[in-house]
Chains A and B, each alone.
Chain A
Amino acid sequence: MVGSTSATVGSVDLLLRGRRRELRERVFEGLLLATLLVAMLILVALLFSIVRRGWPVFADRGMDFLTSPQSSLPQRAGVVQGLIGSLILMVFVAVLAFPLGIGAAIYLEEYARDTRLTRLIVTNIRNLAGVPAIVYGILGLVIFVDFLRRVTGPGGGKPGVSYISGGLTLAVLVMPIVIVTTMEALRAVPLSIREAAYGVGATRWEVVRNHVLPYAAPGVLTGTILSLARAFGETAPLLLVGAITGFLATGSGTFLETLRGPYTTLPTIVFDWSRQFGQEFQQLTSAAIMVLLGTILVVNSVAIVLRNRFERRW
């Protein structure tokens, strides 16, 4: 309806009603376009104001900012612990939330009959995807930090506050999002593909594994990558399950000891520094945000490239 008809529609309308209406049309379209321009302006202002403040840190110290641990001295403080912490938490999310989320989505789209229980589960998942992140922090605090503290580890001073509790909390938080996006990707695969496979005698799992999943893979991948980026920037629930704000000693110990020990993440460092007064910390915060945003934007553009490359219209 967009292309050729609009010209005809336009000229007929002009003949019928005159030019005044044309002006209203133009103003309306301009207003609509302005809303998108404002959104773009906000984005530009945000990036500009952060790069302007954060750039001097990189200019003065170079890579040193990325490789130094936290410190109360702004000239020495760096983000290495946060980067490592965030990356370890992402591994938890990828290992726990992705298989469980994709499995649940496959069940709901491919296996489940339309029963009352199925509908209840789907509604519940959609709602879970909209529950504020901080509420998941309470879940993590009560279940993973307090109740399971024997498993989740000694932490640093506070029992149970560890990578494991943080990772589990983020995994639970991301799972509903993974399920919802995966379900959408599965739904986009046409029924005829499944019917063809069933027709030659494939079992349900064979249909899913060999026919549905390969076609849905780009969509599933995009969804999971985007949810990973979301988890990477998540802050509020981690404050509740005890990501350290402030100084954290660099630990030495076995891998398991580290996982059961205290941790910090990049976004919690950003939060912590943003509350310190003084221009130096504002610059540090901006520099840390540049690292955070840089990582997220790279991850997201990978997802978008994947989608554009492999997306298929049926």
Chain B
Amino acid sequence: MTTLTSHGASGAGFTAETLRGSTRRRRKELIIHRLFFGAAFLSMIVSALILLSLLGRAIDFLANIDLSSLVAPGWFPRQGMFDMRTIFLGTLLVTGVGMLVATPLGLGAAIYLSEYAQPRLRRTLKPILETLASIPSVVIGFFALTFISPQIVRRLDGQAGIFSLAAAGIGVGILVIPLVASVAEDAMHVVPAALREAAYGLGAKRMSVSLRVVVPAAVSGIVAALILGISRAIGETMVVAIAAGGTGGSLFTWNVFRPGQTMTAAMTSLAIGSDQVRGADQAFNSLFFVGLILFVLTFGLNLISERFVRRVRQRY
């Protein structure tokens, strides 16, 4: 090593030292490398902190309540009724209605954009979905309350009030359409053209090519799109907080045309509750318990969908 350095200094020409560049350059390189690694590693810390923030008070909650209060006639945290079935079912109903709206619309749009639309039409149609995707959920919530509820839900069921799980569900569906459409379209886009051409060569028409060749080939990605959509629908908060009308609590109900409560909406109504409730009893801590379940649920769904996406990428 030392001999090489002295040779380098003598200017005899090409040595290992000249190839390594200056120390300053190398040190700078190392510092930048470490900084960027730090930024990337920060995401692990964020995950750990999320789990930590949820766990502490969720455990407090479970330790301090009578476990039988997790089954009650409804979700009324301020009266010590923490019926998990109510908010689970509420979430399930809203997600169900949402996916009923988003699945046909999202997948239909994806197939049309990927298989039918000429490039020019595509450029004009795609911004519709992009604009829809950029609308904040508070706005969709207000739209669900002031338009979907009177114009659509009340026509389906005359008994429905202003607030209903159905109105919230349709609103959530609208939010999920662009997500489902874009993930599914990406999946269909990577299906090799050779597969389509082979089918056309055998005399298949566009519909058979779409449904029997492209969709089956992209099925993992389509499943991933739907799972991501479900995960987004489960986590959607503002639409439900505004349009489902479960502020303060809700009775257990199977009826989508009634007001109800989801996990996320339960959390918001606890968060904006008056200060006396904060920390006074277990009501506020239930927020963390519900949050933990929500986190685990959506994290699991996202992991599964990631698996499916990777499967499509590997195949082609």
Report which A residues bind B (CB closer than 8 A).
1-2, 5-6, 9-10, 12-13, 16-17, 21, 24-25, 28-29, 31-36, 38-40, 42-43, 45-46, 49-50, 53, 99-101, 103-104, 106-108, 111-112, 120-121, 123-128, 130-139, 141-143, 158, 172, 175-176, 179, 201, 203-205, 226, 229-230, 232-236, 239-240, 245, 267, 270-271, 274-275, 282, 285-286, 289, 292-293, 296-297, 300, 304
Contact = CB atoms under 8 A, between A and B. Distances in A.
A130 B109 contact: no
B36 A9 contact: no
Contact of B40 (A6, A32, A108): A108
B146 interface: yes
A132 B268 contact: no
Contact of B142 (A17, A107, A127, A274): A274
Contacts of B254: none
How would you classify the secondary structure of chain B's contact residues: helix, strand, loop or mixed?
helix
B291 A135 contact: yes
A296 B46 contact: no
A271 B136 CA distance: 11
A309 B81 CA distance: 57
Interface string B102-134: 001111110111001011000001011111101
B174 A42 contact: yes
B31 to A, nearest CB: 9
A239 B138 CA distance: 12
B44 interface: yes
Contact of A143 (B40, B53, B200, B272): B53
B56 interface: yes
A36 B108 CA distance: 8
Contacts of A16: 203
A130 B203 contact: no
B142 A1 contact: no
Given A29-B207, A50-B142, A120-B44, 12 more contacts: A5-B200, A21-B205, A35-B107, A111-B37, A131-B299, A138-B291, A175-B42, A176-B43, A236-B264, A240-B267, A274-B138, A292-B138
Given A107-B40, A233-B136, A271-B242, A131 B50 contact: yes
Contact of A2 (B25, B107, B118): B118
B136 A123 contact: no
The 3 tightest CB contacts between A and B, nearest first, are: A233-B136, A132-B235, A35-B108
How would you classify the secondary structure of chain A's contact residues: helix, strand, loop or mixed?
helix
B288 interface: yes
A126 B57 CA distance: 26
Contact of B298 (A29, A132, A172, A229): A132
Contacts of B1: none
Contact of A125 (B43, B140, B147, B294): B43
A142 B242 contact: no
Given A103-B36, A270-B142, A132 B288 contact: no
Contact of A39 (B49, B177, B235): B177
